[in-house]
Amino acid sequence: MEKQPRLLCSQLSVGGRVCDVTLSSSFLSWREVVDSSKKRTAANVYGPLKAAGSHCVPVCEIIAIQETEEDCPSTNVGKWQKVPQNPAGSNQHAFTVSYVERTLKHRWRCSEVTLHCPDRKLCLQWVQAIREQLALLTIRPKRLLVYINPHGGKQRGKRIYEQKVAPIFSRASITTDVIVTERANHARDHLKTEADLKKYDGVVCVGGDGMFSEIMHGLISRTQCDSGVDQSCADETLIPCGLRIGIIPAGSTDCICYATVGCNDPVTSALHIVVGDSQPLDVCSVHQNNAFLRYSVSLLGYGFYGDVLMDSERKRWMGPARYDISGVKTFLSHRYYEGTISFLPADGSVGTPRDKIQCRSGCNICQLPSADKAVYKVEDSISETENKDVWQVIRGKFLAINAACMSCACPRSPKGLSPSAHLADGTADLILVRKCSRLDFLRHLLRHTNKNDQFDHPFVEVYRVRQFRFTPRYQETDSELDLREAEGSSSKHFFTQICREHQACSCAPTHSSWNCDGEILPHGAIQVRVHCQLIKLFARGIEEQSVFEDPSYALCAI
Ligand SMILES: Nc1ncnc2c1ncn2[C@@H]1O[C@H](COP(=O)(O)OP(=O)(O)OP(=O)(O)O)[C@@H](O)[C@H]1O
Ligand SMILES: CCCCCCCCCCCCC/C=C/[C@@H](O)[C@H](CO)NC(=O)CCCCC
Ligand SMILES: [Ca+2]
C-alpha cells in the first residue's frame, strides 16, 4: 500500500500506552512505542494498560471527533464539574475519535478511541487537523429527510430509530427532519408533491421493503415530473434521481437492505449513511400497454410468490411469520399458470445467471458504463451477435415466473432468489419454474436456503434480460390463441374453445397476481424494462470478507 504524506505526527497516550500517532490524508493510525528497557512510562502516569499493537482507521470511516471532557461530581458543591483525569492531578487534554469497526457477518459498529495529549495546544491542533480532513469528505450527507413507518415488521420502527440511529446521526452532526407516517403512501405522496428536496442530501426510510418502495416511487416520480418526463410511456428514458436513499431496516423481509449491505442491522445501515456511501441500483418499470403500474428493484413474481403475498396480506397482524404460514399454504395448493413470456436477452458482457460471479462492493460488471458492457465477452453466455435485440418467446405452464433485478438475498434466503444477479448492471434475471411435482418444487425451494444450485433442475430455466413481457393465457388475444391452438390437435382445439366460452367452469384457467417488491399488482399482463442505475442508495454493496481480514489493510500507511 502506498505511503501517504503525514499531516501530523505526535506521541500521544492511548489507554495508558505511549503511541506514535499519525494522520495522513487517508488514515489515522497509532502504534505503541516499545521502549527497549520495557518501561511503560505512560502507564505509570495515566493508569492501566488497555490496548496493544497497531491500529489504523481510514479517515473516510471516522464518524466524528470531539474534545473529551470527563466529568464527575464534586464532593463540595454536589454539582458535576470537569476534573483532570490523571491521578497526578496535572491538566488532562484529550480527544475522542469515533470510527467504523467491522464485526461478523458484514455488521458495522461505532467504536471509540481516546487520545491523551500532553498539552491543550497539541490537543486542539489534532482536533482541528482531523476536522479539516473530515470536511473534505463532501460526499457525506449533512441534512436528511427521514420517514418512519411505525407499523412495519414487528412495529419497532420508531424505537429502532430513536434508540439506535438518531444518536449516531447526532454524533456525526447530521441534522434531520423526521416524519412518522400516518397512513400507507403518506411518505410517497409527501415526496412526490410537497417535500422541499433542495434542503436535503438524502432521504431515509425506516421500515421494510414496502416502505422503501414508497420512497423510491415518490422520488422517481418527482424527478420525472420535475424534468418533464412522462413515466406512463414505457419507452421513455427515465432521469436518474439525484438524492440517495438510506434504508434503516425495520420490516419483515428487508431484502433490499440485506442484498445491498449484507445484513439487516439498523446500526450498520446508519453508519453507511454517515460515511456517505453510494450504491447505484437498477429499477424495473412495469407497464400495461401505455399505463404505468409500478417500479420494482427486487422481486417481480407471478404464481408462487404472487400467491404467497396475496394470502399473507390477510395475515398482516401476524408480522413477519405471515410469510412462513402463507408460504407453506401456497406450496401445498400447488397451482400452476399458463402464459407466454417474451424477453430481450442481455449482452453477454454482463455474464449469466449461472456464472457464479457474485455482485460485490466495487463490482466490475456494474462499473462498466452501459454502452461499454458489450466490450467483454463471456464464453458461455448467449451469443450476442445471434440474439441481441431479438425477442425470445416461451410458452408453457409455470408454478412461478420470477424476475430478480438484484440477488434478493434476505435472512430467509441468504444467497437469494438469483445469487449472481447484479445490483447495477441494467439487467434482471428471469427465472421460469415450469409445472413439476410437489416434491421437485419443494427441492427447488429448499435450495434457496442451502448451498445447492436452485437452477440445476430440468424444470427451471433462467435468463439474464433487459426487458420482458408476460401475457397470461386468459388474456391472450384471439390471434395469439388461434396460433397456439393451431399447434395442438383438433380435439384440444375444441376443448379450449369451450373453456374460453365458459370461464367459470372448473377447467377455466386460473390466474395469479404479481408480487412487486412485496406489493400486490393485480394485473396479469405486464411489460417490464430495466433502467440501469436509476436510483442510488447509501450503501456500497456487500463487502468481500477479505477487505477487512487483509492484514495490510490494518497496517496501512504506518
Ligand atoms: N403509518 C402507516 N400506517 C399503515 N401502513 C403504513 C404506514 N406507513 C407505511 N405503511 C405501509 O406499510 C406497508 C408495509 O410496511 P413495511 O414495508 O415497512 O413493512 P413490512 O411489510 O412488514 O416489511 P417488508 O416489506 O420488508 O416485508 C407498506 O406498504 C407501507 O406503504
Ligand atoms: C415451503 C417453504 C418454502 C421456503 C422457501 C424459501 C424461499 C425463500 C426465498 C425468498 C425470496 C425473497 C424475495 C424477496 C421479496 C421481497 O421483495 C418481498 C417484500 O419484502 N418479500 C416477499 O414477498 C416475501 C416472500 C416470502 C416467501 C416465502
Ligand atoms: Ca440488475
Q: What is the pLDDT of residue 154?
A: 86
- Kindly state the percentage of the chain with pLDDT values over 90: 74
Please report the atom of ligand 2 found closest to the CA of residue 328. Answer: 1
Give me the interface pTM, i.e. the ipTM. 0.96
Q: Which ligand is nearest to the CA of 148?
A: 1
25-41: string of b/e by CB count within 10 Å (b at 16+)?
Answer: ebbbbbbbeeeeeeebe
**Pocket flag, ligand 1, residue 348 (CB < 6 Å):** no
Most confident of 14-28, 70-84, 469-483: 14-28
Gap from CA of 294 to ligand 3 centroid (Å): 17
Q: Is 119 a catalytic residue?
A: no
Tell me which residue has cell 446500526: 267
Question: Which stretch of DSSP H or E encloses residue 490?
Answer: helix 490-501
Gap from CA of 515 to ligand 2 centroid (Å): 10
d(CA 206, CA 212): 8
Task: For 520-534, write each residue's pLDDT tens digit.
Answer: 999 999 999 999 999
Residue 496 has pLDDT above 60, yes or no: no
Return the DSSP state at 228. T
Task: For 205-236, write each residue's pLDDT tens digit.
Answer: 999 999 999 999 999 999 999 999 999 999 99
Residue 338 has pLDDT above 90, yes or no: yes
Q: Which ligand is nearest to the CA of 310?
A: 2
**Pocket flag, ligand 1, residue 179 (CB < 6 Å):** no
pTM: 0.87
> What confidence category does residue 80 fall into, taking pLDDT thresholds of 50, 70 and 90?
very low
Q: What is the pLDDT of residue 71?
A: 47
Q: What is the pLDDT of residue 36?
A: 61
Task: For 390-427, write each residue's pLDDT tens digit.
Answer: 999 999 999 999 999 999 999 999 999 999 999 999 99
Tell me which residues have their CB closer than 6 angstroms to ligand 2: 208-209, 253, 255, 298-299, 305, 308-309, 323, 327-328, 331, 408, 410, 412-413, 417, 445, 448-449, 515, 517-518
Q: Of 396, 382, 316, 385, nearest to 354 (Cα)?
A: 382
Average pLDDT taken over every residue of the chain: 86
Please identify which of the residues 119, 177, 209, 311 carries the catalytic annotation: 209
Alpha-helix residue ranges (DSSP H) falling in 190-285: 209-227, 255-261, 266-274
Helix, strand, coil fractions of the chain, as percent rounded to 5: 30, 30, 40
Task: For 473-488, write each residue's pLDDT tens digit.
Answer: 988 876 666 655 555 4
Cell numbers that stand for 338 in this block: 399458463
**Pocket flag, ligand 1, residue 518 (CB < 6 Å):** yes
Residues 340/509, Cβ–Cβ less than 8 Å: no
- Identity at 287, one-letter amino acid code: H
SS (H, E, C) 394-439: EEEEEEEEEEECCCCCECCECCCCCCCCCCCCCCEEEEEEECCCHH
Mean pLDDT of all residues in 142-164: 95
d(CA 88, CA 429): 67
Q: Of 443, 442, 404, nearest to 420 (Cα)?
A: 404
Gap from CA of 250 to ligand 2 centroid (Å): 16
